[in-house]
A = this chain, B = another copy of it.
């Protein structure tokens, strides 16, 4: 019933995660009201998204050059590596402004259910980095999920022989949350991880 060009854009939006039919329609009709130039810009941006993009040879962050801007930055502390699952996690840490070391992007988590084994991730490369460079500390910052915890455990065992300090980001109650509504595991973690006051 709708013109094909419109249906096509609705379909494309509908394939995005968390975007249902109604939202896809709403977004498409929003675009329909925009100037043609805006549609060109949007379309070109999507088409060229992956052009010139590579993964940093050192940390596997997204980059336009062989090594990413974080690895290339001479002001970063090269003795600490923060291990994260995805590129977006780097952005999250960078926004805090509290970390000045380097990163290592695993590009996923170990997940037997989804057929993802350690070999599918960048764990080998991490091992080589820790082995060959003067790394003092490896911070395991995978998500506090079952798979994230398992991946952290796997990496900690793998790196143990290298005698590097291995830490895990703290798990506990998030700021602004209500103890009453915290789940049992989070509360347990917040007790286990309690600190001197």
Contacts and interface: CB of A to CB of B under 8 A. Distances in A.
Given A1-B69, A3-B63, A94-B1, A45 B87 contact: no
Contacts of A113: none
A4 B46 contact: no
Interface stretch (A28-36, A139-147, A155-163, A185-193): A28-36
Interface string A1-35: 11111101101100011110001011111111000
Contact of A9 (B9, B32, B49): B49
Given A50-B36, A69-B1, A12 B29 contact: no
A1 to B, nearest CB: 6
B43 A3 contact: no
Interface of A: 1-6, 8-9, 11-12, 16-19, 23, 25-32, 36, 39-53, 62-64, 69-70, 86-88, 90-91, 94
